[in-house]
Amino acid sequence: MDWHKLISGSDIRGVAVGDDAQLTPRAAMCLGMAFAHYLAQRYNKPVHEISVGLGRDSRITGPALLRAAAEGVSKAGASVQDYGMCTTPAMFMATITPGFMPDGAIMVTASHHPWDRNGLKFVTAQGGLYSKDIAALVDAAQELEPDDFPVSGAIVERPFLPTYMEQLADRIRTGLDTDVEKPLLGLHVVVDAGNGAGGFYAKLMEDLGAWIEGSQFLEPDGMFPNHRPNPEDPAAMASISEAVKRVGADLGVIFDADCDRAAVVDSDGRAINRNRLIALMAAILLDEKPGQTIVTDSVTSSGLKKFINDWGGEHYRYKRGYRNVIDEAIRLNAEGVPCPLAIETSGHAALKENHFLDDGMYLVTVLIVKAMKMKQQGETLGSLIADLREPVESTEIRLAITAEDFREAGKAAIAKVMDYANAVSTWHIAPDNREGVRISFDLDGGLDNGWFLLRLSVHDPVLPLNVESDVPGGLKTMLSALRDVLVGCEGIDLTNLNNALAEMEA
């Protein structure tokens, strides 16, 4: 097996079912051993003094992989706290919660990916591991022979979700400035867990007084029979939107399988994800304290930037990748730039008040507090983003790179676009261009009402191209102009771009 195929950014991920499975129980066992030794070295402690927390989402391969990883930790001589069903953010919270506080934790999850995938996420009290750490873990794991070692460290079952639920309940009571038992009386919330690990959130809402009629797919089912556990999936969002409208709820909340991402639906059934979710959180935070900076990834819309500015904030676009966005927000704060939120359009969101942990359930909890306050005033969450200008047209096209050295070929194509933009007055290079090349256009006599972003994928031989227009026909205008520039770029396959233009011209 090529162990490095398991590396997916800062996580381990792979097919976990069938004869072609990459993430096998033996692989998980070796990685558990390697992580225990990594923690011992990191904290300069004997490995028998190391403690590791383990949890999993609802995937069918989760129990076996968790058990194998736990045995690997134990074979290294470290002890195990088995949290059972859990969420990725809760695994981090365990590392800083008195009474638990393992030296590190492993979450068995493949997030929103299909049922036959699984993965491992590694965290410490300082946050998740970086790509270089994962590569070192894999290198160490593939050299291990776990059969040579007995299970020696203690493995103890210690559910953490009840403690995590109480932490979320405390945030709601603090946010509403009350200590009553049921502070959400009168609020109707539909919860969609997508059969992942987050079904307990409906119980939390009910325990706090909310009405949860219409909540769906709360039972863990690792086959995900109803829809993909992904807040970006159109079918998933359509399902919860219909549920909210059917029962007349105040809002709906939906999680991915391990609950580090989320989205909401307003009382009209309108999806609030991607740019809308960023705008909503920005409005809440800037209403409390204007002048703050909101850090996002690079593909956010020009309408979002105007919205944040109108609310008295600064919009700071940065590179794709939730760790990139979070680390940049942390850096800005360290330099004295007040930044309460780092958020990707994918739904990964981290708040300064919550250790800059990308926790979709904590994000939703902040929104629940605001929704309760607004209902008491006869208003709705959706009204906060009524002024958000949204594009008339938008698309993402992925241009395959066929060159052997795909990074150099991709960089050359981006440089060619940059050179062209510098040479003509109608292409405006974005002043906050921090990834690839972002070009804005003045379409149909307007100003800055269309843009595209061409960037190099972090891991794959692909140039993702995001395009938005505030006027009809703008996509065709911009894509045609870009194609003229990219023609002749060695190693860049323009098939998907040509197909998109053909559909627009049909």
Q: What is the DSSP code string of 415-475? A: HHHHHHHHH-SS-EE-TT--SSEEEEE--TT-SS-EEEEE---SSSSEEEEEEEESSTTHH
Q: What is the mean pLDDT of residues 352-374?
A: 97
Mean pLDDT to the nearest integer, 364-383: 96
C-alpha distances (whole Å) from 5 to each of 2, 11, 37, 400 are 6, 11, 22, 20
pLDDT band at residue 275, thresholds of 50, 70 and 90? very high
pTM value > 0.85: yes
pLDDT at 441: 96
215 contacts 244 by C-beta, under 8 angstroms: no
Burial 458-470 (b: 16+ CB within 10 A, else e): eeebbbbbbbbbb
pLDDT at 94 over 90: yes
DSSP string, 388-424: ----SEEEEEEEEB-SSSHHHHHHHHHHHHHHHHHH-
| DSSP character at residue 10 | T
Q: How confident is the model at residue 1 (pLDDT cuts 50, 70, 90)?
A: confident
The predicted-structure confidence for 436-465, as pLDDT tens digits, reads as follows 999 999 999 998 899 999 999 877 899 999
Q: Give the CATH number of domain 3-159.
A: 3.40.120.10
pLDDT of residue 85: 97
User: What pLDDT band is residue 505 in, cutting at 50, 70 and 90?
Assistant: confident
What's the one-letter identity of residue 448? D
Strand (E) positions, 318-366? 341-343, 349-351, 357-358
Question: CATH homologous superfamily for 393-505?
Answer: Alpha-D-phosphohexomutase, C-terminal domain (3.30.310.50)
Average pLDDT of the residues in 38-62: 98
Rounded to the nearest 5°, which phi and psi values hold at 57?
-95, -160
User: Sorting pLDDT into bands at 50, 70 and 90, what band is 396?
Assistant: very high
Residues identified as active-site? 111
Q: Rounded to whole angstroms, how far apart are CA atoms 506 and 494?
A: 18
Domain regions of the chain by residue span = 3-159, 164-385, 393-505
* pLDDT score, position 432: 87
Q: Rounded CA gap, 41 and 138, in Å?
A: 16
At 238 the pLDDT is: 97
In percent, the amount of the chain with pLDDT more than 90 equals 94
- Tokens at 500, concatenated: 């998109």
Q: Is the pLDDT of residue 76 over 90?
A: yes
Intrachain domains 3-159 and 164-385 with the same fold = yes
pLDDT value at residue 373: 97
Q: Is 9 exposed, middle or buried (0-12, 13-18, 19+ CB in 10 A)?
A: middle
> Residues 25-36: what's their mean pLDDT?
98
Q: Which of 271-280, 304-313, 363-372, 455-464 has the lowest mean pLDDT?
A: 455-464
Copy the structure tokens of residue 302: 């020009």
Find the mean pLDDT for residues 92-116: 97
Cα(260)–Cα(86) distance, integer angstroms? 11
Are 227 and 233 spatial neighbours (Cβ–Cβ below 8 Å)?
yes
pLDDT in tens, 127-181: 999 999 999 999 999 999 999 999 999 999 999 999 999 999 999 999 999 999 9
Is the per-residue pLDDT at 341 higher than 80? yes
Cβ atoms 498, 487 nearer than 8 A: no
Residues 266/272, Cβ–Cβ less than 8 Å: yes
C-alpha–C-alpha distance, residues 471 and 460, integer Å: 32
Q: How far apart are CA 373 and CA 377, in angstroms?
A: 7
Between the CA of residue 43 and those of 38, 79, 94, 357, 404, what are the distances in Å? 9, 15, 18, 22, 41
Q: What is the pLDDT of residue 264?
A: 97
Rounded CA-CA distance 459/366 in Å is 33
Residue-wise over 91-130: b if at least 16 C-beta within 10 A, else e?
Answer: bbbbbeeeebebbbbbbbbbbbbebbbbbbbbbbeebbbe
Percent of the chain with pLDDT over 70: 100
Q: What is the DSSP letter of 257?
A: T
**CATH value of 164-385 in 3.40.640.10, 3.40.120.10, 3.40.50.10490, 3.40.50.1780:** 3.40.120.10
pLDDT beyond 80 at 116: yes
- pLDDT on residue 506: 77
